[in-house]
Structure 1
């Protein structure tokens, strides 16, 4: 099989390990306390439900959080999967690697399945080597910027944001204050961070309201936006262009086992501040010119990653400036939310015919906390309403529905952006309307 699907799994059904927490944990700050570590593990366990979309067809699915069979049954019908063995609730408070170490029978089942094993990303559990070294190197936003700097002269259509690396946090606070005094907005980054953690946009007014750079840093650590220790990067904030939908772009690709780089595609991300919310992928989701620019630069990045020993999925994220030039901001050497959208689009195109746009919405708020069965009923009521718009509703993250701030992760697949917009508005209104159901009971 040609293309990225062949390079990824050889077109075969695969074992999907929901080990998002395992990948994230290797980059936790050393000073993180036990309570914060547990919170971050559990947040990652919700996101690990995206393991249903690690490849076009799962054969075995291993999830840290408990899920109901109705969820995977729904996806299997819509995506024409064969039988799927589901092992859920295996690691509510641990990493998946720790859980599997205590379950030798499940570990043996995975090893003997005959299917390729797909993970969120490379971790020490798979052993040291060039691939893990490349992950550790280029997941750093400092090392990624160095690579972008080396490649940028060959890509004049790319705009490279300036980055400062102050020596120590006091120096970082002073530089942050100096930039704010000049009226400059700054993107403040920890070298490692995922899902928006470790990255924040600092407006001058926010810094002065906090009482200066040092006071702001203390507040960001206290609210768990930044780690308590370690280096900080100050990056130029690229002012956005007029097209809000095209502010944050991503381009995904796969480095195959032989080191060949295979393009996957461009996506238009939804980012609130610095927190990724979802993405739209498929024909026309990103204008042809921007997609071509992102493709050329991302493939050049991939060739460098491959030369350093990396194999697997990666992406490069970009922001657009006022002139609609692309500015690269980071490399993700792992699966991501957009990767799942691309996989779903490929599967739907294969089983229903080409042309699908897919929008993932990773954390749509719910108006009330729901039990899993009640969430399933709620989504079942929305399914035919979306279908009337020509949109297929796919539940992706069902486990966060009973959190203090309840949410659900969904994918919408349809023929065009307008249909996806209409379905998203419908679902958002219905989710918000859940609050009214409980108000009536008071």
Structure 2
């Protein structure tokens, strides 16, 4: 089956040959989890791929600050549940994959056809929290399957290292179920309060290279200290960024221009409005960071992804030039040697590995990425560490799969959320998607990723598009978006 010819995958005329699903009773809830089959048989029967668990809600919920109201918590959880559908992309070799409950079969079949996932076996998990390790530990049937896969050589890969994951994995081999040496370390690595020291140590380990600029910031642990710091910034005419130690989905980060901090009264009014709009800023400590102006050149936000294995060895997984929507990740293109200058990419890679070595020294294990911006001077400014999988994980995974299938280098570009003009249930939405990319001549190159939102109140779809280089990727993505919006408008 060739990835270059979508018709060889069973896709015909914008439709897809559908297969049935097994249904088995969930012993915890009495609900019926759905076990995916592709082309009428379990994918990878007789072989074992990695076990992926999309525990996004579980991981982020534990990171939320105290006092977050229920409506904000629900909003974060809803976004996290959508991101949990990225679980198939946690590694390039998915086997048993636990995802939230939705009708995903046609989308999974397309992913398998394009990426060659011959071991992929999706299982949907009911409930508003989606897949998580607390629920998995309480389900003896599903848990037995997960443990059998690990015994057969699979890795157990979560979105993030939650406390229930640590409990579930405590008697599994560390090489198969990587976890940190202490339960507090995932939160330490994720906290924006920890990153300045880690960045400084990595910078020093690299002999303080000129191409890395460490931004000034202050950790404010009391309200008087915070107010005084902001008043001082206003008096100096400085724009600053106010950051909660933990944030997700755009929450917890605010840019404050000098007119918002020009006097003590202005600061108090600004904080009151900000805390009313975003409760992530209600607690202390909080970080006041010097605002860094981005270069006007395209792709001036970049990211490096790494893993730290059970022995503390750091591996660079990839470098991505990111598109941002305010403070939120909107997509990105993998480094093709042109979109990011080679010397800058090499320095970014070295810095990410150096930070990983600092994290490994304190005992953190697993996936992390570092977000940077590029200053007008060309210097890289490290901004924060995300101690989990992120939006850049899926395109890097797709790139690895397509390189192997096509036998050559591939650049991929992602769009996290394409706003769709109309709502449709999963299968009719897939038919429209398939027709749009077929008519656009992109059926062999467009991998659907965030696929559970076509019937949401604000319908959306995420994609990764394969291309020869970054310029080709940008062109193809624009063509893909136009084709999808046109199809969903009709």
Question: Which position in structure 2 is the counterpart of 1:251?
Answer: 304
Residue 48 (1) aligns with residue 87 (2): no
Question: Which position in structure 1 is the counterpart of 2:454?
Answer: 401
Residue 145 (1) aligns with residue 199 (2): no
User: Which of 335, 342, 353 lines up with 1:288 in the alignment?
Assistant: 342
Deviation string 1:263-301 (CA, Å, 9 cap, x unpaired) is 222110111221111121142242201111111111111
**Secondary structure of residue in 2 paired with 1:142:** coil
User: Which of 161, 186, 194 lines up with 1:135 in the alignment?
Assistant: 186
Q: CA deviation at 1:220?
A: 2.8
Question: Which position in structure 2 is the counterpart of 1:6?
Answer: none
Q: CA deviation at 1:131?
A: 5.0
Q: Residues 343-358 of structure 1: matches in 2 within 5 Å? A: 343-358=397-412
Deviation string 1:111-132 (CA, Å, 9 cap, x unpaired) is 1123221111211111386254
Instruction: Check conservation: 1:67, 1:89, Cα contact below 8 A.
Output: no
**RMSD across aligned C-alpha pairs, in angstroms?**
2.5
Instruction: Check conservation: 1:184, 1:203, Cα contact below 8 A.
Output: yes
What is the CA–CA distance in structure 2 between the aligned matches of 1:81 and 1:434, rounded to whole Å?
Answer: 28
What is the CA–CA distance in structure 2 between the aligned matches of 1:79 and 1:323, rounded to whole Å?
Answer: 39
TM-score w.r.t. length of structure 2: 0.80
User: Which of 102, 121, 138 lines up with 1:66 in the alignment?
Assistant: 102
Deviation string 1:160-206 (CA, Å, 9 cap, x unpaired) is 00001223245424433442343322111001123332112223456
Greater C-alpha Rg? 2
Question: Which position in structure 1 is the counterpart of 2:37?
Answer: none
User: Which of 423, 427, 433 lines up with 1:369 in the alignment?
Assistant: 423
Q: Residues 100-139 of structure 1: matches in 2 within 5 Å? A: 100-113=136-149, 114=152, 115-125=154-164, 126-127=166-167, 130-139=181-190
**Secondary structure of residue in 1 paired with 2:63:** coil
Q: Residues 177-326 of structure 1: matches in 2 within 5 Å? A: 177-204=231-258, 212-224=266-278, 226-245=280-299, 247-284=300-337, 285-326=339-380
Q: CA deviation at 1:138?
A: 1.9
TM-score w.r.t. length of structure 1: 0.89
Q: CA deviation at 1:396?
A: 0.5
Question: Which position in structure 1 is the counterpart of 2:472?
Answer: 419
Q: CA deviation at 1:427?
A: 2.9
Deviation string 1:358-390 (CA, Å, 9 cap, x unpaired) is 1121112112222212321221122224545x9
Residue 380 (1) aligns with residue 438 (2): no
Tell me, which stretches of 5 or more residues in structure 2 are unaligned? 1-46, 171-179
Q: CA deviation at 1:88?
A: 1.3
Residue 27 (1) aligns with residue 63 (2): yes
What is the CA–CA distance in structure 2 between the aligned matches of 1:130 and 1:179, rounded to whole Å?
Answer: 39
Distance 1:131 1:230, change over 3 A: same
Q: CA deviation at 1:83?
A: 4.2
